[in-house]
Chains A and B, each alone.
Chain A
Amino acid sequence: MKSYVPHTENERREMLESIGVKSIDELFSDVPASLLLKRRLNIGEGMSEVEIRKAFLELVNKNRTDLKVFRGAGAYNHYIPSLVLELSARSELYTAYTPYQAEMSQGMLQAIFEYQTFICRLTGLDVSNASVYDGATAAAEAMVMMLNATRKKKLLLSAGLHPEVIETVKTYAHSIGVEIVVVPLNEKGMTDIAQLKANAEGFAGLIAQNPNFFGVIEDMKALADCAHELGGLFTAYVNPIALGMLKRPADYGADIAIGDGQPLGVPMSFGGPYFGFMACTNKLIRNLPGRIAGQTEDAEGNRAFVLTLQAREQHIRRDKASSNICSNQMLCAIMASIYMAVMGKHGIKEVAEQCLQKAHYLADGLTQIKGFKLRYASPFFHEFVTDCEYDAEKLNDALKAKGFMGGLPLGRVIKGEHGMLWCVTEMNSRQDIDDLICAVESIVKEGLA
């Protein structure tokens, strides 16, 4: 057992003397005696580092990470350059708190300022905050921004959003009495514009995802124009890697761009920590939640960075704040900055191109197998849905036995769904893809599925 407390018994005695008490227990004399816990906590004995390592080895062996990953659905298996984990492990950065004392936190503040610049360049928009918890909470925060900016109480969500994003937004909306309408997809797998128009009465705005959850590339320009014509705002929920290729949110007039930053160098880590990025037009800057770093100067005119526009935030505005967010996901955002610095303009484009080509190579291979077809004929990026005449869960189990994490059986996240959502990234070699196709073929032939 170690509690990382350095004191010797002698030191402790000297300290108690200085305080003027006889025992540690006396320090807790304000606690009503009836409340004091009169037993040890039931959480076990402490362990040495050697024992901890053994315990974790056992736990690690209860997970399987040897499977070849062909699954995305909100968490993506991308190449993470060695620099990302190495540099973000600098303890001057990771053991710091939020940079309240600017003079001794210029490194962190500059890193935030640079991160904001990266996100503005990625999305084309004017302003970025220093991150929020993840893509789903970014969507919830974007909802609040759009409601506050328009003073309306209704929001439209595309059914192409990740189902967990929709659920999260609904949770937030319920508590403030906001009406949520989910706009269905059409037969092409794209947000149905006729349905959007039919439900737009009194709406604050629309959030749509690109590429959407089912992999389909949406006509974001048409959606943005339509939302604007109907008097609402438009938030684009985008995959940052796809922006290496696709039009950026500013190109089609989005007011707010959000997304989950995990694909930018953040490990999958069983779902977190990731980070949500948020950028918006200058017009909406006072509605933007969370920390923002800004440039200023000291008395001698040196360029300096500080946390700014804090009149939006909870520690100043309390119940009138634009959000209650305090801690964000800064270190993950810095990992993304390092990723973007390493990959540069050509690197992200190349990752996007490899994802696109390899996903289409797999789609071609799968659809040549009897009983498999693509659900949508629309353009897609690195994910696509197949419908097949076999049970998705059984096919998944058979693939697992052959060493593959196949496409996500969609029934796990959407009730009544039978399709599978496949994902291919630059991490999947042609050999892996060929092997997967062969595996599916043989499973189908053997009649396992």
Chain B
Amino acid sequence: MRKEYNLIFERSIEGHRAYDLPNIDVPVLDSLIPSEYLSETDIPLPELAEIDVVRHYTNLSRRNFGVDNGFYPLGSCTMKYNPKINEETAKLFNNIHPYADQDCVQGALHIMAHTAEMLAEIAGMDACCLQPAAGAHGELTGIMLIKAYHESRNDFDRKIIIVPDAAHGTNPATAAMAGYKIKEIKSAADGGIDLDALRAAVGPDTAGLMLTNPSTLGLFEKNIIEVARIVHDAGGLLYYDGANLNAVMGIVRPGDMGFDVMHINLHKTFSTPHGGGGPGSGPVAVKEKLIPFLPKPVVKRTENGYVLDYDRPQSIGRVKNFYGNFSVIVRAYTYLLSLGADGIREAAENAVLNANYIRSKLRGVYDIPYDRICMHEFVATPNEKMRANHVTTMDVAKSLIDRGYHPPTIYFPLIVHEAMMIEPTETESKATLDAFIEVMKQLAHEGETNPEALHNAPVTTPIGRPDDVKAARMPIVKFCE
């Protein structure tokens, strides 16, 4: 089973070639560029025949695991099925130049305008900008909008963003990148925001609060109305981290909860594939008071069709080239059109149903630190007997791999020791969930009776557990002959 696989650079044979260009058909002139600007050597790229390139990447793909291979309950990542019709429609726009004249791109602009409107409606916000390229990029944009808002009111003393300890790591990292200091507040015993801690944290220096709701524990913040009131009364704004939006679409809207600005992960909630790390797309939706500050350009409907509006004097400016990850937006648009209002709500309902079903079946088998009705995900840990046998969350995760599953998110949120964050999503069948539950039970049993087997996992994969410490201590980050 264990087998190394040669790098593409190790397959190079001098003189092989896979490319084919038409012959140059204009007169070839010498000395167009002074020699001091020219490289003296060729770029050391590999030389391969076409079939060898095909086999290399085909075989790399066989050493990888995606949602199309099997169940992928990676908490907070919403690994739902990526519909194939989305891939089909996305390709239809491959050949549009971003600086094509606006009368040549009315179809593309329609998609942007309509997607933004639908996302704003789902968010309960007044406008949506599609420019940010990923969730963290959307967060950064959103926090910059909060800053622009305060500055527009000549309020320069708000230097602090409040972040709960259960937050995604991107939240504090984003606030720091936007020039803010971070005040972290501890969660209450029930996993929600500690209102007293929040009251103590807010003040005239509060720029805003960043919150995921449902939280990273998969729990809906019951006191959200009060949370919003405390922050708003202190003059701060509320940022909604949309990573967990899948739980509440069509049921309750962040804008109605009191949030002022949020990002949406199209690559989670709206079914666009994660691509092994990207591209994602992180549109930002805002309440009316933040609209003037949105990144430019903004797509506008006019009597003569759609236009890109650059005349936005209060805009924070651009956050990237062009208009966003357009073909990702096309995929999300296709999904929105496919599902419609009822489908969107049905997706959220069943995401929550599936998570609660697994939770109900694993109760008593694993420890569930916050064992109450959850939203789209919940957190479990190895039980007491397993822990006594030194069976870790890592052992459970690696054993799941041998049984054909992608493990849940592990060791997050940080506030739960040995956390396994399980998010099944709505696109999995009851049969799939039952099979997973059965395997989880078997692993618990094995962990209680024969822990060695778990410590050794995985055994069915191309490599065993890799030495991470060695990788970091002596970094080898490229191939050297």
B24 lies within 8 A of chain A by Cβ: yes
Stretch at the interface among B78-86, B230-238, B284-292, B383-391: B78-86
Question: In the complex, which of the residues A89, A174, A243, A325 contacts B87, with contact meaning CB atoms closer than 8 Å?
Answer: A89
CB distance from A301 to the nearest CB of B (A): 10
A346: B residues at CB distance < 8 A = 17, 19, 42, 47
Question: In the complex, which of the residues A101, A110, A175, A358 contacts B147, with contact meaning CB atoms closer than 8 Å?
Answer: A175
A330 lies within 8 A of chain B by Cβ: yes
Interface residues of B in 427-481 (CB under 8 A from A): 427-430, 458, 461-468, 470-472, 475-479
A41 lies within 8 A of chain B by Cβ: yes
Give Cα A316 to B170, complex, Å.
Answer: 10
Question: In the complex, which of the residues B172, B224, B462 contacts A318, with contact meaning CB atoms closer than 8 Å?
Answer: B172
Interface residues of A in 154-194 (CB under 8 A from B): 162, 164-165, 167-168, 170-172, 174-177
For the complex of A and B, the 10 pairs showing the least CB-CB separation, nearest first, are A271-B322, A46-B340, A331-B275, A107-B64, A95-B66, A271-B98, A330-B277, A62-B107, A273-B279, A314-B173
Question: In the complex, which of the residues B3, B25, B107 contacts A429, with contact meaning CB atoms closer than 8 Å?
Answer: B25
A412: B residues at CB distance < 8 A = 99
Stretch at the interface among A198-206, A305-313, A367-375, A438-446: A305-313
Contact B278 A327 (CB under 8 A): yes
Q: A92-B69, A324-B140 are in contact. Are A315 and B398 (CB under 8 A)?
A: no
CB distance from A64 to the nearest CB of B (A): 4
Give Cα A104 to B460, complex, Å.
Answer: 9
A-B contact pairs, 29 of them (CB 8 A): A3-B346, A6-B427, A19-B357, A28-B252, A31-B220, A46-B341, A65-B104, A69-B97, A74-B98, A74-B99, A83-B18, A85-B91, A92-B66, A101-B397, A103-B401, A103-B462, A106-B461, A108-B60, A114-B7, A137-B133, A270-B97, A324-B136, A346-B17, A347-B19, A350-B19, A354-B24, A400-B104, A405-B104, A429-B22
Contact B48 A327 (CB under 8 A): no
B320: A residues at CB distance < 8 A = 133-134, 136-137, 168, 272
Contact B64 A3 (CB under 8 A): no
B175 lies within 8 A of chain A by Cβ: yes
Q: A92-B64, A302-B2 are in contact. Are A360 and B19 (CB under 8 A)?
A: no
Residue of A nearest to B472 (CB): A308
Contact B17 A269 (CB under 8 A): no
Give Cα A47 to B8, complex, Å.
Answer: 43
How many B residues touch the partner, as a band?
35 or more
Chain B 318-352 per-residue mask, 1 if CB under 8 angstroms from chain A, else 0: 11111111111000001011111111111101101
B189: A residues at CB distance < 8 A = none
Question: In the complex, which of the residues A49, A63, A243, A323 contacts B173, with contact meaning CB atoms closer than 8 Å?
Answer: A323
Contact A430 B21 (CB under 8 A): no
Question: In the complex, which of the residues A49, A85, A105, A272 contacts B322, with contact meaning CB atoms closer than 8 Å?
Answer: A272
A90 lies within 8 A of chain B by Cβ: yes
B126 lies within 8 A of chain A by Cβ: no
A100: B residues at CB distance < 8 A = 74, 409
Contact A134 B321 (CB under 8 A): yes
Chain A 71-84 per-residue mask, 1 if CB under 8 angstroms from chain B, else 0: 10111010101010
Contact B478 A127 (CB under 8 A): yes
Residue of A nearest to B336 (CB): A43
Question: In the complex, which of the residues B134, B276, B412 contacts A94, with contact meaning CB atoms closer than 8 Å?
Answer: B276
Contact B65 A27 (CB under 8 A): no
Contact B54 A96 (CB under 8 A): no
Instruction: Classify the interface of chain B: helix, strand, loop or mixed.
Output: loop
Q: A329-B133, A334-B276 are in contact. Are A171 and B317 (CB under 8 A)?
A: yes
Contact B318 A18 (CB under 8 A): no
A209 lies within 8 A of chain B by Cβ: no
Q: Other than the known A110-B60, A361-B26, what 5 A-B pairs have Cβ atoms closer than 8 Å?
A: A104-B65, A296-B466, A308-B468, A321-B169, A325-B137
Give Cα A45 to B273, complex, Å.
Answer: 24
Question: In the complex, which of the residues B28, B47, B280 contacts A327, with contact meaning CB atoms closer than 8 Å?
Answer: B280
- How many of chain A's residues have a CB under 8 angstroms from any CB in B? 209
B188 lies within 8 A of chain A by Cβ: no
Q: A28-B252, A137-B133, A217-B33 are in contact. Are A327 and B429 (CB under 8 A)?
A: no
B83: A residues at CB distance < 8 A = 4
A15 lies within 8 A of chain B by Cβ: yes
CB distance from B292 to the nearest CB of A (A): 15
A317 lies within 8 A of chain B by Cβ: yes
Contact B26 A430 (CB under 8 A): yes
Residue of B nearest to A36 (CB): B252
Give Cα A294 to B279, complex, Å.
Answer: 21
Contact A104 B177 (CB under 8 A): no
A92: B residues at CB distance < 8 A = 61-62, 64-66, 68-69
Q: A63-B106, A102-B466, A298-B464 are in contact. Are A5 and B347 (CB under 8 A)?
A: yes
Give Cα A71 to B349, complex, Å.
Answer: 48
Residue of B nearest to A310 (CB): B472
A150 lies within 8 A of chain B by Cβ: no
Contact A344 B61 (CB under 8 A): no
Contact B277 A327 (CB under 8 A): yes
Contact B133 A246 (CB under 8 A): no
Question: In the complex, which of the residues A104, A122, A260, A360 contacts B406, with contact meaning CB atoms closer than 8 Å?
Answer: A104
